Structure 1
């Protein structure tokens, strides 16, 4: 090959390679966005990127909440005809001219004189106030009229001894504990405020006599029990006393009742509230005092939070103890938010995630958190905690309205094993009232005009709920 020919060939070769390279670069710059777009699309549709929530991450509606409340109410009404019957035959007693020693109130939840029924009746009163549906409050009048109209029949009986229980009415003639009268006495006051039935007052006054004078107290006035240990304080008793004292304050206008209610919250808190946990220990007793073993039982903490909500709603705004009670309320909510399970429930032992998810405390916390937002006691940012709590609750309300997953009645115990393996069922009636309360408060939350709620987008990779306070933002 000649020099001219070789040089020419080399030049042509370089030009061709350069042209090919430019063309490849141009082609790649055109195809790369397409490849990247296809890759991103493939990633978006890859299973696992969109969260799979075990409990639907949905926004409830007022109508859906009302539907749940109606189902629970229907179940409740079906539990008892509210009559007086023969305990052996079950036949209804209609002749009251002479006392039948076999006479008892008909069985069933709707006939009980019990603290769990008291929560339901208070919730019915609240639902009527929130929704304007007076048929719920009418159930209260029906029950309490049933009691006061038939109570004289048992009061005249010489065969009933002090302390003896009368079927599902328990120790209605002779109260021995706060459980016998406090919660259901509070609901009775609320019902009296509506219908002014004078027959209620003797019973209300007897409840007051027991709570204010006869119930055992520590030397500083803290309501207590001599069980299971000598001089024991139970967190449960905050609800068994404070709502009644609060409503006596509303009924009479006397400050002493609000003072006593506030004292119970703070002095029980002195013994039971643990600042490091921002939770209440289930119980305390004089025997072990400062070194009492601690168990953060869910429902006990629920009783405390609901009792404080009742007091804060009614006590004078300038009461000397209000700020201290608000601190307990707010700090508990802060702790509870972090302890909520991913399903929206809370655990039976709040700090033990290997204990089961429990319905009654979930409903209590949902109610109290939604209530705190609505009343301005806590920040609106806790809205999603209440919302997911309500969604969790709805999974435990069966089609017939029975509330499942509620832990059975639980004593003040001193070992984890007892708390871990408590039974739970639809027959544990402690969950019904809190579920009703939670639903009513969630309706208020959804209708809260001070808030704007940004909803989570369904089937989105990254979307959540945000509760915004309208007054914080510039006007549009």
Structure 2
């Protein structure tokens, strides 16, 4: 008995109990035949979404299917658009040069998230194919930037370039997510030359994107011709932009050591939240118009995903000594707590989070799986409370990854509206790029979480069972 209790001397007796494998209720003490209801609690249950914590091998098998598909359908090549012939000499400008078409665009904001997801998957699995996927395409973009940036700077309106939307950005979508992937790769030791690319996208996010008077990133500013852009209304905040711009600002602080970037990033989180976070519901509205008296609140799932992901990314680099660190952390905790109350029995979240008559959406569920697992891994929230939820969310996402690596149930690109029909009837498509990067991120973070903590069945419920 003494030997069995020794491990508890350095810890707590309760902790030892948590380390036991799948525990069940105590055996009945009464003698004689058992009552008919004695073991009903142990009946097999049919869960449409697998109800367990996947191990690293299982998660990687899902990610590998996604990788194989993306590697096949996103060629990192330049061709002549007239002939289709490959262009191998990228040092000389060619007015007919274009990126070889694939299923997805290499310079979209969705692919900025995918590059970050590939880097995360490579780090979590040790499989260099993921890392090299991102770096190979970063290298291609870097070479094209060197060749075509002078032409674009000389004639922004008429110059032809295979990546002109990046070289001449007009919106956060053109710059922010890509820039974050460049900054993360650089900080992780990538050999790619980012010396031109980071200033292009970083300067746009921090200096050129329209802002409200208090500095909050916004849409619907001056159109350059004496009018106002309708995106969709003047002085509009899109919750998406918490992610499209704010993590890049924070990572610029990490890359440069300039604390003003940290100040700006934290301020953005808090100012978006002040306007758009519903404290009673624990979730954000999608769109906000400065000066509008009443805001019909549409709680779109993916926009809430961008918000929660922005906060975990900002906290990744924001110094703990920063004056706003605790405020950002508290906001993240409030959002995670709010999201927890809306997870469906199958592990997903609805397209409009608080409207059960809208479909269960995959990309938002993947983002929540990533962000909640990251929050657990960093100690922002309790593993006991939120680890099982993150595992269930991952299991839900994994169920949507088809054998060929395509992912089902992803809402297509979505603007902003003040009515439920717009969101409820948005189509889904396996070609919607928005779900692939989040799935890679989610799988990588779930691998890390389940290596760090043990989750198993206890009285048939998936529960935290201590550190690994």
- TM-score where L is the length of structure 2: 0.85
Q: Tell me the equivalent position of 1:25.
A: none
**Higher alpha-carbon Rg:** 1
Q: 2:92 & 2:202 partners in 1: Cα distance?
A: 31
| Aligned partner of 1:454 among 450, 453, 456 | 456
Q: 2:183 & 2:198 partners in 1: Cα distance?
A: 7
Task: After TM superposition, list the pairs within 5 Å mapping 1:86-97 onto structure 2.
Answer: 86-94=80-88
Task: After TM superposition, list the pairs within 5 Å mapping 1:126-205 onto structure 2.
Answer: 126-155=120-149, 157=151, 162=156, 169=163, 171-195=165-189, 197=191, 199-205=193-199
Alignment pair present for 1:437 and 2:433: no
Structure 1 residues 311-332: Cα deviation after superposition (integer angstroms, max 9, x where no partner): 1111101111111111111111
| Partner SS state of residue 461, structure 2 | coil
Structure 1 residues 195-217: Cα deviation after superposition (integer angstroms, max 9, x where no partner): 56473111111212111111100
Q: 1:98 & 1:256 partners in 2: Cα distance?
A: 39
| Partner SS state of residue 296, structure 1 | coil
TM-aligned CA deviation for residue 347 of structure 1: 0.5
Q: 1:231 & 1:363 partners in 2: Cα distance?
A: 30
Alignment pair present for 1:267 and 2:275: no
Q: Which has the higher helix share?
A: 1
| 5+ residue gaps, structure 2 | 1-30, 221-230
TM-aligned CA deviation for residue 139 of structure 1: 1.8
| Partner SS state of residue 387, structure 2 | helix
Alignment pair present for 1:324 and 2:327: yes
Describe the shift of the 1:166–1:320 C-alpha distance in structure 2 as closer, same or farther (beyond 3 A).
farther
Preserved CA contact (<8 Å) 1:111 1:143 = no
| Partner SS state of residue 145, structure 1 | helix
Q: Tell me the equivalent position of 1:248.
A: 252
Q: Tell me the equivalent position of 2:208.
A: 214
Q: Tell me the equivalent position of 2:53.
A: 59
Preserved CA contact (<8 Å) 1:349 1:419 = yes
| Aligned partner of 1:104 among 84, 94, 98 | 98
Q: Which structure's relative contact order is higher, taking Cα pairs within 8 Å and 6+ residues apart?
A: 2
Structure 1 residues 317-362: Cα deviation after superposition (integer angstroms, max 9, x where no partner): 1111111111111111111111001000110000001100100100
Q: 2:159 & 2:130 partners in 1: Cα distance?
A: 28
My pick for the range that moved more, 410-419 or 164-173, is 164-173
Preserved CA contact (<8 Å) 2:95 2:161 = no
Q: 1:405 & 1:397 partners in 2: Cα distance?
A: 10
My pick for the range that moved more, 222-231 or 109-118, is 109-118
| Aligned partner of 2:462 among 460, 465, 468 | 465
| 5+ residue gaps, structure 1 | 1-32, 457-461, 472-476
Q: Tell me the equivalent position of 2:224.
A: none
Task: After TM superposition, list the pairs within 5 Å mapping 1:111-126 onto structure 2.
Answer: 112-126=106-120
Q: 1:345 & 1:321 partners in 2: Cα distance?
A: 32
TM-aligned CA deviation for residue 154 of structure 1: 3.1
My pick for the range that moved more, 228-237 or 320-329, is 320-329
Q: 2:92 & 2:454 partners in 1: Cα distance?
A: 63
Structure 1 residues 385-404: Cα deviation after superposition (integer angstroms, max 9, x where no partner): 01111110111111111111
- TM-score where L is the length of structure 1: 0.84
| Aligned partner of 2:406 among 398, 402, 412 | 402
Describe the shift of the 1:159–1:267 C-alpha distance in structure 2 as closer, same or farther (beyond 3 A).
closer
Q: 2:163 & 2:464 partners in 1: Cα distance?
A: 44
CA RMSD of aligned residues (A): 2.6
Q: 1:465 & 1:57 partners in 2: Cα distance?
A: 7
Preserved CA contact (<8 Å) 1:77 1:110 = no
